[in-house]
Amino acid sequence: MLNIRDLKIELLRDDQAELLFQLDELTVGKGEVVTLMGPSGVGKSTLLRWVLGEPLVNFRIQGQLSLNGEDISGKSIAQRKLGMMFQKGGLFPHLTIEENCLFAQKPRSNLHRIEQKERALTMLKALGLEDKWAVYPDSLSGGQYARVALLCSLLAEPQAMLLDEPFSSLDAGLREDVRQWTFALLQEREIPTLLVTHDTADACGRVIEMRGESVNV
């Protein structure tokens, strides 16, 4: 369970603080997806990056963040045990799919390298992508790339997932399939998920409109 309390995001500009978004409390349960929507510049992606633990210049952010009852506000990115999928990227272009899958498991896995490889191959086979094991990311189609990127995030054993416009670069023919597959997998694994999108078609679960005012959820 992911919980955010007393959140306030301000943009610092010319010694002035502009309120972008304020939230009393938000709880995302196991297997639940909560969608954040709103115009550009309101703070949607900034909120995700604060949850992830990225240092954010030109912003003043106050709030409490807990995961499964543990306060993670002061923890590093690696210690927070979160996964993230971006609009583009997520895979290292200079590494093969095998190397990406193995690298994703390094920070948290207690498995030996052979076991890590077998685990990743099993998941790739389930996607019908085992023949992509030795190729580089630039040889994947948009749908294949999105699936492998999510697979790598899951191999890192995240306790919660953050999705920032993950489907927007896909064409219409692939978008619905990848979207349904992604949400089904996250719900099956009971991973609480925060999704940022501009497209109502991509929204899932509860939808929160971010427009700068205080929001009670």
CA–CA distance, 41 with 198 (Å, rounded to integer): 12
Average pLDDT, the chain: 87
Q: What is the pTM of this model?
A: 0.84
pLDDT, average across residues 93-108? 86
Domain containing 39 — which CATH number? 3.40.50.300
pLDDT, average across residues 45-69? 92
- For position 51, what pLDDT does the model report? 96
State the total domains in the chain: 1
- For position 212, what pLDDT does the model report? 58
Cα–Cα distances (Å) from 26 to 36, 138, 193, in that order, read 11, 38, 12
Residues near 7 by Cβ (< 8 Å), separated by ≥ 6? 21, 22, 23, 26, 47, 61, 62, 63, 64
Asked if the model's pLDDT at residue 217 lies above 70, the reply is no
> pLDDT of 114-150, one tens digit each?
888 888 898 888 778 889 999 999 999 888 888 898 8
Give me the domain span that covers residue 130: 2-215
pLDDT, average across residues 33-44? 87
pLDDT, average across residues 59-65? 93
Q: What percent of the chain has pLDDT over 90?
A: 41
